[in-house]
Amino acid sequence: MMAAARPVIGVTTQTLEEIPDQLPRCWIMSQRYVRTLTESGAVPWIVPLIDDQETLRAIYDRLDGIFLPGGVDIDPKSYQEDPTNGCGRVDPDRDRTEIMLVNWAMKDRKPILAVCRGAQLLSVAAGGTLYQDLGSEYPGAIKHDYFPKAGVHARQDLVHPVEVVADTRLSRLLGTNSILVNSMHHQGIKRLAPNLIANAFSPDGLIEGVESVDDDFVLGVQWHPEDLADSEPMMRRLFDAFIEAASGWRRGLRPKRAAAIT
> At residue 53, what are phi and psi to the nearest 5 degrees?
-60, -35
Q: Which of 144, 185, 186, 224 is catalytic?
A: 224
The answer to whether the beta carbons of residues 127 and 192 sit under 8 Å apart is: no
User: Is 160 designated active site?
Assistant: no
Write the CB contacts of 259 (distance below 8 Å, at least 6 apart in sequence).
none
Closest by CA to 56, choosing from 15, 4, 107, 102, is 102
Q: How far apart are CA 224 and CA 25, in angstroms?
A: 27
Q: Which of 87, 98, 116, 185 is catalytic?
A: 116
Closest by CA to 32, choosing from 242, 235, 247, 227, is 227
User: Is 226 designated active site?
Assistant: yes
Crossing angle of the two packed helices 92-108 and 117-125, in degrees rounded to 10: 60
> Which 3 state secondary structure label does DSSP give 94?
helix
Give, in order, the Cα–Cα distances in Å from 144 to each of 87, 119, 207: 15, 15, 12
- What b/e readout covers 22-36, taking b as 16+ CB neighbours within 10 angstroms? eeeeebebbeebbeb
Q: Which of 98, 211, 226, 232 is catalytic?
A: 226
Which residues carry out catalysis? 116, 224, 226
